[in-house]
Amino acid sequence: MILWLLACDPTPEVTDLDPATCAACHPAQYQEWEGSMHAHAADDPVFLALNEKAVATEGVPEDFCVRCHAPVALALGETQDGLNLESVPQSMKGVGCTFCHQLEGSTGPANGAVSWVWDGVMRGALDDPLKNDAHKNAYGAALDRDAPESSQVCGSCHDVVLPSGLHLEQSYVEWDASVFYEGLSRQSCGHCHLPSRPGRAAEVDGAPSRRIHDHSMPGVDVALVPWPDADRQRDLIQELLDKTLLAELCVVPEAGGSKVILTLENVLAGHNFPSGASHDRRVWVEVLGFSGSTQVLSSGEVGEEQAVLDLQQADLVLLHDEARTASGDISHGIVDAVSVSRRGLEAPRELGLPHARSYSWSVPGQVLEAVDVRVRMRPVGLDLLMPLVAEGLLSPAEVQAMPTFDLGSTALHWEDELGSCVGGQQ
């Protein structure tokens, strides 16, 4: 549960919470944040559609979704259930500057369990901040990438436990089990997701040079509606996805035919790939095999507007988690999930311990001469989005805006004698 610790100080004016006011002195942080999914979290049309369905579901608290997607609006009583988000001031939507920077810490492992103090004191990692007229400053371990508390705060919002008890989304739990949790390879959420560079924390006279942190926080999701800096966000996501996996493709002889073996290793993500809302992602392998000019192998080959789950291929390799409803269907509504099977590629659990996984496709009676593979990803599956259009909760244009990313490092072409491999280098 969220513990709202409202301070005794006089309540600041609501305008004080507007992230736009921070831009005057923190232009870089503002611009990066503005294009991020944190800023977009309560404007995402898929969120609005699924929230409406969740609120109508018996046994689901009405504020279940907004406590993470619009925590400021909820805390200030501007919304109870997110159904009126259209009329909530933009400055209170999403995960804003003054939400993160007034966090004191985490009060539980999931579902937005954080303590938030509305006292106008901006917490951060600086222990010698310059005084300024806009706000007071304080050191806060919850906002210090180097302190363990900081990952717990990210984790409280990034792990989702459904009212039924199902731990559906678990980026924190996955990170906690990985080699990045402690020791020599320790990397907090912030180390990877807020990379630092030299710069000034505030663009004001006398501000010293420090290390500042990128607030773009690209992941997987993109804005499906017009949004600031949308192209830049997409480029950042592509850049991240292009480096996340290490892939090796081998083609070997097998009983008079051929066998394609693809080995994938998660080398960059500090948790599973994919993580978090993995159950709504669609991540699959496309494999095409040729003998001469004849195509003799096709798996995961989908059209631009085709849902990958419509393929019904026995040899289709899917890497996202599979959440199912009580009636055994694929879950399309988050809160209707009763079980989940994990298929994501894990982060290393111990240094040097192999954690790659191999997948294979047999082609009996054919000697393959060329093979093309790539891992592809849609942030949210078309099988989930199409029914929302039919229900009038999403527009066809919003579905068309859903991209399909190809993971650059996994796009491999093999053309050789059987028994040889390509890729595999880092």
Residues 372-411 binding ligand HEC (CB under 6 A) are 380
Place of tokens 């406590």: 67
User: Residue type at 330?
Assistant: I
How many other CB atoms sit within 10 Å of the CB of residue 142? 24
Instruction: Report the distance separating Cα 375 and Cα 288, nearest Å.
Output: 12
- Tell me if 418 sits within 8 A of 258, measured CB to CB: yes
Residue 251 is a binding residue for ligand HEC (CB under 6 A): no
Least separation in angstroms between residue 87's CB and ligand HEC is 19
The C-alpha angle with vertex 356 and arms to 403 and 361, in degrees rounded to 5, equals 70
CB atoms within 10 A of CB 184: 6
Dihedral of CA 107/55/96/186: which sign?
positive
> Distance between CA 32 and CA 217 in Å, rounded?
8
Q: Cβ of residue 418: shortest distance to ligand HEC, in angstroms?
A: 33
Write down the least CB distance from residue 78 to ligand HEC, Å. Answer: 15
List binders of ligand HEC among 109-138 (CB under 6 A). 110-112, 122, 124-126, 129-130, 132-135, 137-138
Select from 2, 117, 168, 219 the one that contacts ligand HEC (CB under 6 A): 219
Query: Among 143, 260, 368, 402, which residue sits at the site for ligand HEC (rule: CB under 6 A)?
Result: 143
Using the minimum distance from each CB to ligand HEC, give the nearer residue, 33 or 118: 33
Q: How many residues bind ligand HEC (CB under 6 A)?
A: 100
Q: CB–CB of 261/252 below 8 Å?
A: yes
Contact status, residue 181 vs residue 187, Cβ threshold 8 Å: no
State in angstroms the smallest separation of the CB of 282 from ligand HEC. 11
Using an 8 Å Cβ cutoff, are 422 and 249 in contact? Answer: yes
Interior angle at CA 159, CA 155 and CA 164, nearest 5: 150
Q: CB-wise, 405 or 414, nearer to ligand HEC? A: 405
CA angle 132, 97, 114 (to 5 degrees): 115
* Site for ligand HEC contains 215 (CB under 6 A): yes
Q: Contact with ligand HEC (CB under 6 A): which of 35, 38, 168, 287?
A: 38
What minimum distance in Å lies between the beta carbon of 368 and ligand HEC? 30
Q: Which of residues 339-378 bind ligand HEC (CB under 6 A)?
A: none
**Quick one: tokens of 112?**
């937005």
Among 69, 374, 376, 378, the residue binding ligand HEC under the rule CB under 6 A is: 69
Residues in 271-330 at the binding interface with ligand HEC, rule: CB under 6 A: 271, 273-278, 280-281
Instruction: Extract the tokens encoding 15.
Output: 């305008």
Cβ 306 to ligand HEC shortest distance, Å: 19
Residues numbered 148 to 177 that lie near ligand HEC (CB under 6 A) are 150-151, 153-155, 157-158, 160, 171-172, 175
- Residue 395 Cβ vs ligand HEC, minimum distance, rounded to whole Å: 15
Please tell me the distance from the alpha carbon of residue 346 to that of residue 339, in angstroms, as a whole number. Answer: 19
> Among residues 281 and 376, whose Cβ is nearest to ligand HEC?
281
Distance, in Å, from the CA atom of 155 to the CA atom of 203, rounded to the nearest integer, reads: 31
Min dist CB 183 to ligand HEC, Å, is: 13
Of residues 156 and 258, the one with the C-beta less far from ligand HEC: 156
Residue span binding ligand HEC (CB under 6 A) among the ranges 142-150, 249-257, 298-306, 350-358: 142-150
